[in-house]
Structure 1
Amino acid sequence: MRIGADIHAFMGRLGYDFTRPELLIRALTHGSIASATRPDNQRLEFLGDRVLGLVMAEALFTADRQATEGQLAPRYNALVRGETCADIAREIGLGDVMKLGRSEMMSGGRRKEAMLADAMEAVLAAIYLDAGYETARQVILRLWASRMDSIDNDPRDAKTALQEWAQAQGMPPPNYEQTGRSGPDHAPVFEITARLSDGNHAVAKGAGTKRSIEQAAAQALLDQLEAR
């Protein structure tokens, strides 16, 4: 199968050359451009999620033999969640080679967090099918290395940590309100306010998904509470 220079460049960034590049093409194909002869990446995403999960679980289990299940679980969740997969996809320029329909291209699909995360998992499945588990494991460990090295002992996401803090104080869960939005539809900038029932609140603003800005607002409020 002949592939373009952009795909060759992506394989270089990925650090793996496909024997069957058609697997990679399928992993990069979103449903918005799929057809009967051009299947989308959803099945590969399903498999890739499981491959990633096994690699991360095995790596964490081996790295810290004294850790309890309660300590391993949040570390695992931090490494396999969609935000992490999307961040790694951005680092290797996956969005640049995704195969999208015109509507998704026009709406900024190459930057959408969920689509990047799904495609990243699909690419991992494609590597697994092309070369087996050990090769897929090596690629995953290399791409995730910096995050595994820096993961702390309590890597709960900020929203979870803030909710647990509020619960410990006898408060209801925090509220997240969109208090502003600017920029074009394909690249919106959100302003989110995280607020506790006692009036404490913090604001975060930035590009990306609303969920990621909610996380930033939660972290800002946690930092504010810890500084008191």
Structure 2
Amino acid sequence: MADNEPPTDAKSLMSIYKRSGAFDQQRKRLLEDFKTSEAHKNLLLKLQMMLDNKVKNDPSILAKNRGKMGALIQGEIVNQHSATNEAGLLGIVDKDIQEKIIESPNFRLLIESEIKDIRRKVLGISDEDYKKMVEEEENEKLKMQEEARRKATERAQEERDREERDRDIAYKNNFKVKKPASKPFKAPRIKFAARDGREDDKEPRPLMY
């Protein structure tokens, strides 16, 4: 980047974003939102239960000064926290951050909008030109989304067609008519009664015409 070019890389824009005070404003807003959330109420409830349990097991903890008691509580919170322990105190906070910040599309769009506005000011782009740029970006996003939907529809149709062909083949294979194997004709054996009353097996005589 030349010396006369304004800084527009991600690191420089983030530095400007923090220096402008926008970062602190977002942090304060997120903290205020957390204080009014159900997650915060749940956090205080679990913290109170943990303290009551520690005092019950060791009443002498109340005689400790604030610094030592705070260190014990902090150590207890950290020790009970793990990647699989979502019910822990830190797990409550982690889950709230994940849902409302990291995985939140609205929060991501808000930060992107603020960063883009900083970039616009750095580049000296007028409001009218910036509006056109935003519209062009939105149109490009819509085109990409439409193309992605079209490809997904085509893939789904191809999959349905393939499954239909497989079903047809399986149906035809199950109902194929097999020709019976030809067997040599054998005349039936006929039993004749002998004169003494016994049955006598004889080969059938050929019919005379």
TM-score bracket relative to the smaller structure: under 0.3
Structure having the larger proportion of residues in strand? 1
Question: TM-score, normalized by length of structure 2?
Answer: 0.23
Question: TM-score, normalized by length of structure 1?
Answer: 0.22
Structure having the larger proportion of residues in helix? 2
Which structure would you say has the larger RCO, counting Cα contacts within 8 Å and 6 or more residues apart? Answer: 1
